[in-house]
């Protein structure tokens, strides 16, 4: 079967493309923005990518068109599919019907940490010899791909609450029907489709309704938003994790790392290779999910030592003359604060921690959380902000709200790169945060730093 995927470079759709290719289908796709790491993974998998939405790419017509949720009415390719009467479906529906229908699905949901937790969980099952299939919205360090079919019935999936497609406005995750469900946390996000937290909680409750009675829900026990969601109705056993005393698995900050108590553990050191309390919580969720399918907690803790992290999660992209450039996917105030806090906790060679933020997600472009951003960025010694296309509010206001003159704003990417390179000095750690390619800023900045070093050795 020839499958053509619209919006193929999105993290979910790109991973789905890899699964379809592995299953033996001919896969092609298109997108408006083609950038690594997903574009590299797709091309390595033998998948042809077309940039843009010219209807000519439907000649000859594919057997099935899979439509990503970024596609909308008015897109020339979407209109051509409808006008020609070509068969089409959504990514989550195709996945449910062709991959997940006979699998034990372990789904990782929540506002933050889904990708990292899913990557950890896949690795825990792999280390236990269980050869899981998985679909992860990112590139896990322990695997060469972001998705694979696997060799057993177990399948790990990152379960996103964003809507499914222009013709199906339910959240993606209602298609997955997990037997093991992790709910990391729950906050208001995706303000372009969810007006408030309550509307997101309703979607999560729809997900809870799909988990069988002999399954398991693993929930953050410290968040009232999750407790309120489960109180809408829950027919599945729940295990809770968190710092509060009432949780089944308790997280403790020992001052030099984190430890776990409960379920047979007593002050068990937790080493997941990633710093920060948020990553410790991610690891605890992965451990409990793996335990549900037979991986003892002690074995999981040992396997976590071999976890190699995720691309675009506090990922070091390069170093020039003592200036380190990191990449991170953080795009929500809570995630931004957690990432910067973890970087501060991790320490460095003694220089400054510099944050570079592109408000690119739909929620960020709308300015829904902009009042929270000054506090979320407070751990940085200097903050650079980019006024990218489509941002509906002046980021200069945020720069002005930062204390001690630490906030700076630019609306030209080349100028931002040049000024950032000129301002940096040995020992600095520059953390670049965006949920997109950010115009290749990482490579451009490293190149600018190298040119500066060559000019002034």
- 273 and 157 share a domain? yes
Residue 393 lies in a domain: yes
pLDDT of residue 11: 81
Residue 412: per-residue pLDDT: 87
- Tell whether 310 is covered by a domain: no
pLDDT given for residue 257 in this prediction:
83
pLDDT of 349 reads 57
Cβ-based burial of 52 (10 A; exposed 0-12, middle 13-18, buried ≥19): exposed
Judge if 31 and 150 occupy the same domain.
no
What are the backbone dihedrals phi and psi of residue 436, each rounded to the nearest 5 degrees, phi first? Answer: -135, -165
| Residue 55 neighbours by CB under 8 Å, 6+ apart | 76, 77, 79, 80
Same domain membership, residue 142 and residue 72: no
Place of tokens 């070509």: 86
Domain interval for residue 30: 2-91
In angstroms, rounded to a whole number, what is the distance separating the alpha carbons of residues 268 and 73?
53
- Helices 277-292 and 114-127 pack at an angle, to 10 degrees, of 50
Give the C-alpha separation, 129 to 123, whole Å: 10
Q: What is the pLDDT of residue 342?
A: 76
Query: Same domain for 125 and 272?
Result: yes
pLDDT of residue 63: 97
Last residue of a domain, one of 304, 339, 354: 304
Beta strands in 2-132 (DSSP E): 2-6, 26-31, 48-51, 64-67, 88-90, 104-109
pLDDT, averaged in runs of 10, over the chain (457 residues): 94 90 95 76 87 95 96 96 98 96 96 88 95 87 86 95 92 96 84 80 95 97 94 97 93 86 90 79 95 96 84 78 84 78 71 86 70 82 85 82 83 89 88 81 87 74
Domain presence at residue 239 = yes
């Amino acid at each position: 079967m020839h499958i053509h995927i619209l919006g193929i470079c999105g993290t979910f759709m790109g991973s789905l493309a890899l699964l379809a290719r592995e299953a033996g289908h001919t896969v092609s796709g298109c997108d408006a923005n083609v950038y690594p790491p997903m574009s590299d993974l797709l091309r390595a998998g033998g998948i042809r990518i077309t940039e843009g939405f010219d209807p000519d790419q439907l000649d000859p017509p594919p057997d099935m068109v899979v439509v990503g949720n970024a596609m909308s009415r008015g897109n020339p390719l979407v209109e051509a599919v409808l006008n020609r009467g070509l068969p089409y479906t959504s990514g989550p529906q195709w996945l449910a019907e062709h991959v997940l229908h006979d699998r034990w699905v372990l789904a990782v949901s929540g506002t933050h940490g889904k990708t990292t937790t899913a990557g950890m969980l896949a690795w825990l099952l792999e280390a236990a010899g269980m050869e899981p299939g998985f679909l992860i919205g990112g590139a896990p360090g322990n695997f060469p791909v972001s998705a694979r079919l696997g060799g057993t019935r177990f399948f790990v999936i990152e379960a996103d609450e964003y809507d499914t497609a222009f013709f199906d406005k339910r959240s993606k995750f209602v298609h997955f029907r997990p037997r093991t469900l992790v709910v990391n946390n729950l906050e208001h996000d995706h303000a372009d489709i969810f007006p408030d937290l309550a509307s997101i909680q309703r979607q999560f409750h729809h997900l809870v309704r799909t988990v069988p009675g002999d399954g398991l829900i693993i929930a953050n026990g410290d968040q009232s938003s999750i407790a309120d969601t489960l109180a809408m109705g829950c027919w599945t056993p729940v295990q809770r994790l968190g710092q509060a005393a009432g949780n089944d698995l308790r997280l403790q900050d020992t001052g030099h790392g984190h430890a776990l108590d409960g379920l047979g553990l007593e002050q068990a050191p937790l080493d997941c290779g990633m710093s920060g309390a948020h990553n410790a919580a991610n690891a605890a969720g992965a451990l409990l999910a793996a335990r549900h399918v037979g991986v003892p907690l002690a074995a999981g803790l040992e396997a976590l030592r071999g976890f190699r992290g995720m691309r675009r999660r506090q990922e070091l992209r390069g170093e020039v003359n003592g200036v380190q450039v990191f990449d991170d996917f953080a795009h929500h105030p809570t995630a931004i604060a957690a990432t910067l806090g973890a970087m501060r906790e991790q320490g460095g060679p003694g220089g400054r921690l510099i944050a570079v933020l592109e408000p690119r997600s739909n929620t960020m472009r709308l300015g829904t959380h902009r009042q929270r951003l000054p506090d979320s960025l407070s751990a940085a010694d200097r903050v650079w902000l980019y006024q990218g296309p489509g941002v509906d509010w002046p980021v200069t206001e945020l720069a002005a709200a930062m204390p001690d003159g630490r906030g700076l704003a630019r609306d030209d990417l080349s100028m931002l790169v040049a000024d950032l390179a000129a301002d940096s000095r040995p020992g600095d750690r520059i953390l670049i945060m965006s949920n997109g390619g950010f115009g290749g800023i990482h490579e451009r900045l490293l190149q600018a730093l190298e040119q500066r070093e060559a000019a002034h050795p």
